Structure 1
Amino acid sequence: MKVAQFFIVLASVGMFACSEQDAAANVATTGLTSDVQLEEEERLALQNTSLQDTVVKTEAEWRKILTPEQYYVLRQEGTEPPFKNKYDSNKKKGIYACAACGNPMFSSRTKFDSGTGWPSFYAPLAKDRIKEVEDRSFPGEVRTEVECARCGSHIGHVFEDGPEPTGLRYCLNSAALSFTEKK
């Protein structure tokens, strides 16, 4: 979503603050419209992982803590094969975090079957948990890369062909994610 569009949405929600205090609070917290409400477990996950604790490691340190596949995806901006990954078909309820640093980024509540072979979501838990970066690495195409806001690792890409309420499809690599099932 473009910055101007975000501010228009934020201003629209703010106009109804008296009757929609919960929705306005959710937009301020997550950067999303009131269509995506956080559950208590999701709020706790966000509170328990501070973005101020930026994770910085040398490439040698990353190689020691990540599997070769995770290193390829997270640190070398690789892509795992479609349909042959851990979370594409995962139907369990829970939270998806960065596999490199544990930053909670996505919820199973916004996960959908895109038919692409990779886990797809229509919204992050909070916009400040991810970073969107212009990606010109694929010849003749400009894409938007999704990085972890805490450690800068490559998570996947976002496209504007997803379902409502956002119209976005965060197409992610399972190797870039860790999953914690809801209790």
Structure 2
Amino acid sequence: MNRLLCLLIGLLCISCTSVAQKEKYKKEKVYTVSKTNAEWKEILTSEQYYILRQAGTERPYSSPLNKIYKSGTFHCAACDSPLYESKYKFDSGTGWPSFDRAVEDAVDKDVDYKLGYARSELLCATCGGHLGHVFNDGPRETTGMRHCINGDALVFKHKESKNE
């Protein structure tokens, strides 16, 4: 019994060490737009900084972008890169702007363990700003994905059409 207990404790220690080692040596991506925290604080509102640079989450139903369905593009509030086209936006009922896909190569994915389990985090591919998370409960008739995005991470740019 003692041997079995020692073996289990040893395996637990080894597995914990290997995970810590992987995290320690994980390569950081270098983003095209890079600023110090002080520089980000100068150009972002406190809410934008909290979300984009500290991976925060805004309250559901708090973003005015939630109900915008005009023709246009949603850009990163930090670096102005185009991230989402309004034609791929849908009402998920979650309280956050939701899209079934991003502009090609505009968004990076990472793994977020902040809640104690793995979630797919979405980041701006240009500046690395935290946008939100992706889930596989989106519209089945399109991609099946739901990009659940913080409104404070976005800026909407309206595109006027000939009919407007």
Which TM bucket (shorter chain)?
0.7 to 0.9
Aligned-residue offset at 1:86:
2.0
The equivalent position to 1:149 in structure 2, one of 103, 110, 125, is 125
Q: Does 1:111 align with 2:78?
A: no
Q: Does 1:168 align with 2:115?
A: no
Alpha-carbon distance in structure 2 between the residues aligned to 1:92 and 1:165 = 20
- Partner-residue secondary structure (3-state), 2:70: coil
Alpha-carbon distance in structure 2 between the residues aligned to 1:148 and 1:125 = 11
The runs of 4+ residues in structure 1 deviating greater than 6 Å are none
Alpha-carbon distance in structure 1 between the residues aligned to 2:37 and 2:98 = 28
- Residue matched to 1:49: none
- Show structure 1 runs of 5+ residues with no match: 1-52
Alpha-carbon distance in structure 1 between the residues aligned to 2:83 and 2:122 = 11
The equivalent position to 2:115 in structure 1, one of 120, 124, 138, is 138
Alpha-carbon distance in structure 1 between the residues aligned to 2:38 and 2:64 = 25
The equivalent position to 1:178 in structure 2, one of 149, 155, 158, is 155
Residues matched between the structures, number: 130
Aligned-residue offset at 1:142:
1.1
- Partner-residue secondary structure (3-state), 1:97: strand
TM-score between the two structures when normalised by the length of structure 2: 0.77
1:88-147, Cα deviation, whole Å (9 max, x unpaired): 111221100110001101000000000000000001121x110010111112x2100000
Alpha-carbon distance in structure 2 between the residues aligned to 1:91 and 1:165 = 17
- Show structure 2 runs of 5+ residues with no match: 1-30
Identity of aligned residues (%): 51
Aligned-residue offset at 1:57:
0.2
Q: Cα RMSD between the aligned structures?
A: 1.3
